[in-house]
Amino acid sequence: MKIEGKEYRTIWFDDKSQTVKIIDQTKLPHQFIIKDLKTAKDAINAIKVMEVRGAPLIGGTAAYGIVLSIMERNDPNFIKKNSEDLIQSRPTAINLKWAVDRVMKKLSGVNNNELLKVALDEANAICEEDIKFCKNIGLNGLKIIEEIYSKKKDTVNILTHCNAGWLATIDWGTATSPIYHAHQKGIKVHVWVDETRPRNQGANLTSYELNEEGIPNTIITDNAGGILMQRGQVDMCIVGTDRTLSNGDVCNKIGTYLKALSAKDNNVPFYVALPSSTIDWSIKDHKQIPIEERNSEELSHVEGVDENNEIKKVRIYPQKSKSLNLAFDVTPAKLVTGLITEKGICEASEKGLKGLFK
Ligand code: MRU
């Protein structure tokens, strides 16, 4: 998708410099900076500090992390250790493990002198596949927006939480892909963007990328969705997911659950958009999902630009106060109207998912 009219992807391998290029998302929306990742440690750090974030993108970054590891030292123990560290770098999104396992499986039994080429081909393939899947999620989700538009004959108001846009994937996004496709078809859409405290991915990233594509959007506080739904100002919700269980339970950015409860109470359809890479077929109970607990400084401090356009961080809480910063929650399948996937839309249930994927 575009930034200042120029097409970008969130990550790519640059043949000339032999580095992995990313858009540093910690600086958005105030500064647009492309950063080089040169080592596996750089990739691990980029995931940890959230220079890259969003389940599919951290999966792609982890895949390139293996490539960088081989470039640094073509030694099986070194590569294995880096693969473990990459998986551990953020615990909740399943895409990390999925991508690392996929590259490592490709490498098994490959001659030392071919490891780099095989890893790079696989990392590129993971990213190309994600783009294709996100595009298909868009085409499938478009049908829901078209249906609402044909009945309403007026702007379709869509609420989203966190950033499940193209910046969270390689391109198109998951939750935003149906929106981009609708906009391109001339359907009038307007997006309610949840600010998404504490890191404000909605305000800083979703609103930013929608603006760059010319899509009308309004930032709201995380607590405003309920009243908008009661007032009939939300036609549907679409969110992303970091881990989808085979029973249809969905783990996503903290606050998603409360939006789903509100949507249920107000008969607002609540959809979750996902590529199959976020499905965790292995665990059955959402209590087994490792929920990332992040530094409490993300709550106690906020970042923005000062009058000189310089990024500044300030404390907003009493110094002595404690805070708890859980990054994700789980929305039970019974609150989800449907899962929008690259293969079609299904019920949020084992039957629904297996019907499409097994
Ligand atoms: O903590 P983040 O910014 O990585 O969280 C991202 C989300 O929760 C997204 O909604 C999720 O990864 C789905 S992205 C397509």
What is the average per-residue pLDDT within 53-71? 98
**Å from CA of 238 to ligand 1 middle:** 13
Distances (CA, A) of 263 to 195, 215, 277: 18, 23, 26
- Structure pTM? 0.97
Report which protein residue has its CA nearest ligand 1's atom 6.
54
Report which protein residue has its CA nearest ligand 1's atom 15.
164
What is the average per-residue pLDDT within 224-234? 98
Determine which one of 222, 242, 280, 329 is catalytic. Answer: 242
Instruction: Give pLDDT, residue 90.
Output: 97
> In ligand 1, which atom is closest to the CA atom of 134?
15
Q: Express as a percent the part of the chain with pLDDT over 70.
A: 100
**Å from CA of 124 to ligand 1 middle:** 21
Q: Would you say residue 10 has pLDDT above 90? A: yes
> In ligand 1, which atom is closest to the CA atom of 161?
10
Q: Per residue in 91-123, pLDDT tens? A: 999 999 999 999 999 999 999 999 999 999 999
Answer for the pair 308, 146: CB distance below 8 angstroms, yes or no: no
One DSSP character per residue, 271-322 reads EEE--GGGEE-S---GGGS---B--THHHHEEEEE-TTS-EEEEE-S-TT--
> In ligand 1, which atom is closest to the CA atom of 55?
12
Q: How far apart are CA 6 and CA 4, in angstroms?
A: 6
**Å from CA of 90 to ligand 1 middle:** 11
Report the relative pairing of strands 217-220 and 189-194 from DSSP bridges: parallel
Answer for the pair 66, 51: CB distance below 8 angstroms, yes or no: no
What is the average per-residue pLDDT within 8-21? 97
> In ligand 1, which atom is closest to the CA atom of 205?
3
Q: Per residue in 259-281, pLDDT tens? A: 999 999 999 999 999 999 999 99
Q: Would you say residue 358 has pLDDT above 90? A: no
Confidence of residue 329 (pLDDT cuts 50, 70, 90): very high
- Residues touching ligand 1 (Cβ under 6 Å) are 53-56, 93, 162, 164, 168-169, 174, 201, 240-242, 252-253, 327
Q: Would you say residue 89 has pLDDT above 90? A: yes
Confidence of residue 21 (pLDDT cuts 50, 70, 90): very high
Q: How far apart are CA 279 and CA 296, in angstroms?
A: 29
What is the average per-residue pLDDT within 83-87? 98
Give the phi and the psi of residue 121 in degrees, each rounded to 5.
-60, -40
Q: Would you say residue 78 has pLDDT above 90? A: yes
Q: Which of 131, 159, 163, 276 to mutate to test the pocket of ligand 1 (most atoms within 8 A of CB)?
A: 163
242 is catalytic: yes
**Å from CA of 10 to ligand 1 middle:** 14
Residue whose tokens read 């095989």: 118
Q: Per residue in 120-138, pLDDT tens? A: 999 999 999 999 999 999 9
Dihedral-angle region of residue 352 (phi above 0 means left; psi in -120 to 50 means alpha; beta otherwise): alpha
Q: Per residue in 236-263, pLDDT tens? A: 999 999 999 999 999 999 999 999 999 9
Q: How far apart are CA 249 and CA 252, in angstroms?
A: 10
Length of the chain: 358
Q: Would you say residue 25 has pLDDT above 90? A: yes
Nearest to 34 by CA among 15, 19, 53: 19
Q: Would you say residue 283 has pLDDT above 90? A: yes
**Å from CA of 163 to ligand 1 middle:** 6
H/E stretch holding 236: strand 236-239
Distances (CA, A) of 250 to 174, 206, 231, 260, 353: 14, 20, 26, 11, 12
